[in-house]
Chains A and B, each alone.
Chain A
């Protein structure tokens, strides 16, 4: 089975711009979660989507949004970028069975200048 894929892998933006990141889960996985990882804050949960619905949301401002499509692919959007949004954004999928093991994609490295 192919793993979780994320595009793009690297991105450079300037303050005030917006960005859209994409994630394709493992085939058959219906749950997709997004995380932000920075050296200072560690791994922080952004949101989780299941069957096109946001099921859980972390403590991030409204500038961070996401959605999931009927094929389980997911996108996250960050508007009005700030310097502090520079991070590794990780997407993870889960089969949503009896337990919630997450399978992570390679990540998108976002740099905001």
Chain B
């Protein structure tokens, strides 16, 4: 059974600082997605990572995938308040449902 673990689950960081969210998974896969969820809202797709070594960047967020280590990271550079949200990773094994991590609740404070 595929297990997906995110850490940390809660993250409070100061504006302007850098930090990394980790997503570890237990079964080999080369497809992983990152989503963002604002309070009371739905999930918004952020990144699609489809191969080992894939790196995607959008603004202050950068995601990467290491399939050998079964690890994806979401790096936040110079955090701003607007990045406050919950971030989910989801692993894709093919013809089975995506398996989501529990989410990392990020709070960026001044």
Contact = CB atoms under 8 A, between A and B. Distances in A.
Interface of A: 33, 42-43, 45, 48, 55-56, 58, 90, 92, 99-107
A45 B97 contact: yes
Contact of A56 (B50, B90, B96): B96
B97 A90 contact: no
A101 B103 contact: no
Most central of B88, B95, B97 by chain A CB within 10 Å: B97
A106 B41 contact: yes
Interface residues of B, number: 21
Contact of A42 (B31, B96, B103): B103
Given A33-B97, A43-B100, A100 B42 contact: no
A99 B50 contact: yes
Closest 3 CB pairs of A and B: A104-B43, A45-B97, A104-B42
Contact of A101 (B41, B48, B100): B48
B75 interface: no
A45 B43 CA distance: 14
Contacts of A33: 97-98
Interface of B: 31, 33, 35, 41-45, 48, 50, 88, 90, 92, 94-98, 100, 102-103
Contacts of A103: 45
A99 B88 contact: no
B42 A90 contact: yes
Contacts of B41: 106-107
Given A42-B103, A45-B97, A90 B43 contact: yes
Contacts of A90: 42-43
Contact of B103 (A43, A48, A107): A43
B42 A102 contact: no
B37 to A, nearest CB: 9
18 contacts: A42-B100, A42-B103, A43-B100, A43-B103, A45-B97, A45-B98, A56-B96, A92-B43, A99-B31, A99-B92, A100-B92, A102-B33, A102-B90, A103-B45, A104-B42, A104-B43, A104-B44, A106-B41
